[in-house]
Amino acid sequence: MNKILVQIGDGNTAAAGQTLVSYALGSCIGVCLYDKEIKIAGMVHAVLPAKKGGEVTAAEQQYRYADQGIRRLIDQMCSCGAKKSRLTAKLVGGAQMFQTINYEWDIGKKNIQMAKKILAAEGIPLLAEDTGSDYGRTVWFTAEDGRVRVEAAKHPSIEL
């Protein structure tokens, strides 16, 4: 298995025989897109829902924000041969890592909402999710078959 690391604020694609992995998704949202026909997988590890004040221009920041990162990943996957009409999605993360009564600080919930909003706007069906709660997760996304395995401390591993 050829493992490709998707770091915080990053995004990448994988082909058959490769696995995308992202560690320690807390309030961040992991968006996993898949084209089953040609076995192309893509993942974004977005930190925040959107950039205040407009579009991100620096190349290293393109995946940091869920709204722009998901769209960039779609473009990247299509340049690898995927078709937007065949893409499906799975979401992981978006936890509320710190207890607060102030909605403004619930970044995890906002990340989940933004990811769902962008997927709906792009016409990409959401097949499964493991989101919310108050714990971090690690996600493994296998391009060969589209399986998403989620691991978390003190919680059983699950497959989406």
List 28, 32, 78, 80, catalytic entry: 28
The two tokens of residue 159 are 């497959």
Measure CA 10 to chain center.
10
Burial 34-44 (b: 16+ CB within 10 A, else e): bbeeebbbbbb
32 catalytic, yes or no? no
In a 10 Å sphere around its CB, with 0-12 CB exposed, 13-18 middle and 19+ buried, how is residue 120 labelled?
A: exposed
The two tokens of residue 40 are 């192309």
Catalytic residues: 28
